[in-house]
Structure 1
Amino acid sequence: MHDRRGALQEYLLRTQPRTVDRGRMTIVERELVGVVRAGVAGAVVEFGCYRGGMTAWLRAVLDSVGADPPVHAYDSFRGLPAPGRHDSAYLAEGEFAASVGEVVTLHERFGLRRPHVHAGWFAHTVPEQLPARIAFAYLDGDRYESTLLCLRACLPRLAPGAVLVFDDYADPASPPDRAVAQPKAPGVMKACEEVFGTPLAVSVVSADPTWTLGVYRHAIPPTVSTAAVTSETVR
């Protein structure tokens, strides 16, 4: 099992370096294993799965500790929507287009159980197709509206002790006492601060000096606005 996980890790580092790196995988593994060992019940979900690299890593980590929750992966497979007013133009519309077949093929290559893949813009899939209870979520929507929609949809379904991990959360060059938004995807932190009302709800974590993630650990459900996001082009 560990040999398969190691082989997957090395393969992803070679073939999907833009979205999967050793630092991300280290943090995701640590947080996901912590959720499993704490006995948090619920599904594992990923928003913005692209070619399925992190999706496969989630499944491999679960398998390595003998855990069997379902993994749900959401993506438009048409690439990113156009940036909104809270987003950077660094990532272009249509970037990160992929196919469901790539996700499935990757899992088959490493003998991993297939995830439940939900293809379509987030606005068309997430509100109606989320599992009833979520133990862990990896949010990699890159855009403000994408993150906002997924976060608002997730929070009422989080099990006590659940963890949310946000890719593209903070600038690695931020001062130690004050996180600054990742300039390539500033909408991610903006959405989190809008929902939680404070930057203190999300911890900035890093296992690599070139990249940081945000981590939210769910205890008492916060009071949040669940107003619908109406954009039809949310990935």
Structure 2
Amino acid sequence: MNDRRGALQEYLLRTQPRTVDRGRMVVVERELTRVVRAGVTGAVVEFGCYRGGMTAWMRAVLDALEADAPVHAYDSFRGLPAVGRHDSDYLAEGEFAASVGDVLRLHEQFGLRRPHLHAGLFAHTLPEQLPGRIAFAYVDGDRYESTLECLRAVLPRLAPGAILVFDDYADPAASLPGRAVAQPKAPGVMKACEDVFGTPLAVTSVCEDPTWALGVYRHAVPPTVAAAMSAGPETAR
């Protein structure tokens, strides 16, 4: 199978630098590879896909692993919703507006299978349009309410051993070992996670860049799957 990761990565670094960078791609590839190699079955989903950079990256990773999991992407395609009381005003309402066509053209350009796209507010699409079993999710809602909607919808559908990755989760410059501090540009993301999980320890801060950190949540893992996952994947590109 043709491995499109190298060409796709370089293209995304040039064309979508605000939402897809090398550090994010490393983390997503590493965690998605863990799920596939551990034999966790289910769909791969993305909440907040913008122009489809990470959507395409996940498809390219799956293809390189010869994994046939479907990819579902959810976005209003009208940009971010209004700022809420737990959010920063760093990102304005309407920012990151894109179109379904942007996502499809990117996949066609690199010969990638089209994702299942769900256009509309999370509150309208997630209750009825989420797959019944989810193996991996990339949560890029930016806002408190958006992240909360995603968590409430996705958690009951997670397969044992599934992984959630949260964009803009923590600020590595202010965080200490064992104590992550919210990313000031998107503080609602960590707040939503803490409100749902009841403890900050449920999500691990993972840093591949000095200015931001992703959050990683690992769903309840049976012993046999845990043993397979502990070996870890090969070093990501």
Give the TM-score taking structure 1 as reference length.
0.92
Number of the residue aligned with 2:92: 92
Shift of 1:142: 0.3
Aligned amino acid, residue 149 of structure 2: L
Native 8 Å contact 2:142 2:188 kept in 1: yes
For structure 1, the 5+ residue unaligned runs are 221-235
Number of the residue aligned with 2:192: 191
Aligned amino acid, residue 38 of structure 1: A
* Partners of 1:133 and 1:65 in 2: CA distance: 20
Native 8 Å contact 1:205 1:213 kept in 2: yes
* Partners of 1:204 and 1:154 in 2: CA distance: 20
Native 8 Å contact 2:183 2:212 kept in 1: no
Aligned amino acid, residue 138 of structure 1: Y
Native 8 Å contact 1:83 1:93 kept in 2: yes
Native 8 Å contact 1:86 1:144 kept in 2: yes
Moved more, 174-183 or 79-88: 174-183
Moved more, 200-209 or 99-108: 200-209
Native 8 Å contact 1:23 1:211 kept in 2: no
* Partners of 1:171 and 1:21 in 2: CA distance: 16
Aligned amino acid, residue 205 of structure 1: V
The percent of aligned pairs where both chains have the same amino acid is 84
CA RMSD of aligned residues (A): 1.2
Native 8 Å contact 2:74 2:119 kept in 1: yes
Shift of 1:216: 0.1
Give a deviation string over 1:150-181, Cα, whole Å, max 9, x none.
00110000000000000010012123221110
Give a deviation string over 1:100-138, Cα, whole Å, max 9, x none.
000000000000000000000111101110000000000
Aligned amino acid, residue 58 of structure 2: L
Equivalenced residues, count:
221
